[in-house]
Amino acid sequence: MSSELSELVAKNYTAKLPDDELKERVLSFFKEQTMCTIATCRENVPRATSLEYFSEGTTLYMAPDPGTKLVNIAANPRISVSIFNDVDPDWPGGAWKRTKGVQITGEAKLLTPDDPEYAHAMKVYNWEPFLKALGRSKDDALKPEKMIKVEAKKIEYREGALMLEGYASAQVWEVSK
């Protein structure tokens, strides 16, 4: 561990970022990343699945393939989502300053094409670049059977560099809707 990081960790910062600044950092981080892991559970059997997402505020949208996660969400909409950035595991040159991640506790809703929210979810999801990668046009009927909409209730944010500003590296934001 670098001496700078050791000194900061030893200070045991507990200061909380102002809510508006924390929200700004969280929303910016959502836009910087595109992959998440969504954890679902049904009948005490957990399932974690990596998915691409797009965000609008604190709401995430995902276009899933069919599978266990959809069955789980239908039975139990309470979910957890993890998003984090990629940092070199050898920690060169103060890489700890670039560590960022969120743990989201929220509710998931499955949207189908007949749901009024589905069209909005497709717009936020930015489906056209995916179609283009497949060599298809936006007019093609290829669309996901379901979209997952995740409403965040609580966001636990972690950023190593916050200690450099005198704040705790772990922050919690209760989302009020």
Cβ–Cβ contacts within 10 Å for residue 49, how many?
18
DSSP state of 18: P
Q: Which two tokens stand for residue 158?
A: 């972690």
- Structural domains for the chain: 3-171 (2.30.110.10)
Q: Which residues contact 75 (CB under 8 A, 6 or more apart)?
A: 42, 43
DSSP symbols for 31-53: HH--EEEEEEEETTEEEEEEEE-
Question: pTM for the whole thing?
Answer: 0.88
**Residue ranges of the chain with per-residue pLDDT less than 70:** 1-2, 89-93, 140-141, 177
Predicted local distance difference test score (pLDDT) of residue 3: 80
Predicted local distance difference test score (pLDDT) of residue 176: 76
Predicted local distance difference test score (pLDDT) of residue 177: 55
Predicted local distance difference test score (pLDDT) of residue 147: 96
Give residue 20's identity as a one-letter amino acid code. Answer: D
Q: Locate tokens 């910016």: which residue?
A: 28
Predicted local distance difference test score (pLDDT) of residue 133: 81
The bridge status of strand 59-62 relative to strand 54-56 is antiparallel
- CA 63/CA 146 separation, integer angstroms: 7
- CA 53/CA 47 separation, integer angstroms: 17
Helix (H, G, I), strand (E, B), or coil: what is residue 157?
strand
Q: Which residues contact 163 (CB under 8 A, 6 or more apart)?
A: 8, 9, 11, 13, 169
Predicted local distance difference test score (pLDDT) of residue 141: 62
